[in-house]
Amino acid sequence: MDQVSELKDKGNLALRKGRLDEAIEYYTEAIALDKSNHLLYSNRSAAYAKAGKYEQALEDAEMTVTLKRDWGKGYSRKGSVLAYLGRLDASVEAYKTGLQLDPNNEQLKSGLAEVQFHRLAIAVNPFSRPDLLDVLANDPRTKDLLQDQEYLKLLQEIGNNPMVFQTNRTDSRLLTTLTVLLDSDLGKIISSEPDKTPPKQKSPEPQNKEEEEDFKDSNLPTAVIEKKLGNKAYKEKNFEEALLHYNKAVELDDKEIIYLLNIAAVYYEQKEYEKCIAQCEKAIEVGRENRADFKLIAKAFTRIGHAYKKMNNHKQAKVYYEKSLLEHRTPEIKTLLSEIDKIIKEEERKAYIDIEKAEEEKELGNEKFKIGDYPTAIRHYTEAIKRNPDDPKYYSNRAAAYTKLAAFDLGLKDCQKCVEIDPKFIKGWIRKGKILQGMQQQGKALVAYQKALELDPSNAEALEGYRSCAVSVSSNPEEVRKRAMEDPEVQSILRDPAMRLILEQMHSDPRALYDHLKNPNVAAKIQKLLESGLVTIH
């Protein structure tokens, strides 16, 4: 049974951290080993519910009460899932059954009260109240939702037919809306009973008279007024005052995630990134407990990611951007994640650079090259390139090893990289010429040798290569011409009247070439003809 306990503990940890699929997997493995353990079914039911898999959550909750009929928490679990499924009457019965077994269980009491409120709310249809939009506009939880035309249409449909709420009961926007409407109704009930009204808390002195009058006329909850005052101070970059108001809002309503997120925003602006992260984590915890909109949970994760990014901890930033995407996918976060991935890869590349180790790997590669162990030599040269990707000689050495294995395409690619890094690296041009010769591309090889001779006209290796290619080209000009004319790009160049005129000028006056090479477009076409072997420069 030790293995069962271990799996349960792993599942509990994953559940606390929001890794729901992982938690479900651990609980399932544990259940396979101990099918009579009611705690495992209860925990898996919680994980399923958090993942929105309410039917599976209900099955596990029912199994929990079947295995342990005198355990109050099992009925709490069942009542909660039934409420999510919209089966409010059955949910009430589950909570009442649990309370008969455990009359002092606070979780059962609060769950029953919440479901009864929901049942009453749906019965009287608060969505049909005449001041519906005014109430929603004055509450920060629903104010922004009113910009969504689809949401407004849904409100109208539910106002006309309360059964529409039942068919859309998993919509987080509607659940938030119902909570706001219930809060509003409860506030009216309290205000109509003067003897039970708690003393009105004194709001901080507003910054100006106009704002003070707006707040007085709005009948907003005190916590919301504090938040608005905080927002005003925040916009004015008076961050200490903003913190005072936001913290006061939390004291008045510790179940509202927005106030905690606002505190985190202040810490972020103050460059107090550790405090920002801690506040966001608290916001996530409060939000989860109070079924906050998933977009707000995502916002908290995103802000943690921003804080880690500012601290140059890009790997942790990536973790939290990914968590944000799991809550709510937006193009902005996907872009941020893509950018952070690039930063991490570049950091890893730079962190791996070590010039001394690169030289060590090159020497090891040279030793293997000398004894004919070319595959191992390539591995050492590759490691040298990773350790110092800006040194052309490593690419040149690896190209030589590729050539020995007749991997000409790979060798040519390395030579090209070599001369891109250092166009004056003569050995790279010579090696490129040799590889092209091996590939029977004499015209292109001739151009590579020419580049080498421009750098060092007396280089014996380059001279020999150039003569060899020139002889090969001149010994069978018809074959060279035939192969070149099969190239559509060459055909296009030769059909161009302007290029034909330039070629005639080059033939009668070779010095005209240098004037034409000043034009990049013409230079590229002449380069193509040189590579094809149709044109040579003496």
Q: Which pLDDT score is estimated for 200?
A: 37
Euclidean distance between CA atoms 452 and 431, whole angstroms: 10
3-class SS of residue 447: helix
User: Quick one: CA dihedral 290, 296, 297, 303, positive or negative?
Assistant: negative
Euclidean distance between CA atoms 390 and 406, whole angstroms: 25
Euclidean distance between CA atoms 51 and 18, whole angstroms: 9
Torsion, CA 185, CA 190, CA 192, CA 194, rounded to 10: -170
Euclidean distance between CA atoms 333 and 336, whole angstroms: 5
Q: Is the separation of the CB atoms in 428 and 448 below 8 Å?
A: no
**In angstroms, how far is CA 188 from the centroid of its own chain?**
44
Q: Token pair 């005129």 is at which residue?
A: 501
**In angstroms, how far is CA 456 from the centroid of its own chain?**
52
Euclidean distance between CA atoms 75 and 72, whole angstroms: 5
Q: Which pLDDT score is estimated for 217?
A: 41
b/e per residue, 117-138, with b = 16+ CB within 10 A? ebeebbeeebbeeeebeebbeb
Q: Which pLDDT score is estimated for 325?
A: 85
Count CB-CB contacts under 10 A for residue 440.
10
Q: Which pLDDT score is estimated for 133?
A: 80
For residue 511, what are its two tokens?
């010095």
Averaged pLDDT, groups of 10, the chain, 538 residues long: 80 86 89 88 89 86 88 88 80 87 82 70 62 79 84 80 67 78 52 35 37 45 86 90 91 90 93 93 90 88 93 91 85 85 86 90 94 93 92 93 90 92 92 89 83 89 84 60 69 81 74 69 75 60
Torsion, CA 410, CA 411, CA 416, CA 422, rounded to 10: 130
User: Quick one: CA dihedral 379, 384, 390, 396, positive or negative?
Assistant: negative
For residue 217, what are its two tokens?
């006329």
Euclidean distance between CA atoms 340 and 337, whole angstroms: 5
For residue 143, what are its two tokens?
């104010």
Euclidean distance between CA atoms 325 and 383, whole angstroms: 36
Euclidean distance between CA atoms 175 and 96, whole angstroms: 23
Euclidean distance between CA atoms 3 and 10, whole angstroms: 11
Q: Which pLDDT score is estimated for 536?
A: 60
Q: Which pLDDT score is estimated for 172?
A: 76
For residue 503, what are its two tokens?
């070629």
**In angstroms, how far is CA 207 from the centroid of its own chain?**
41
Q: Is the separation of the CB atoms in 446 and 436 below 8 Å?
A: no
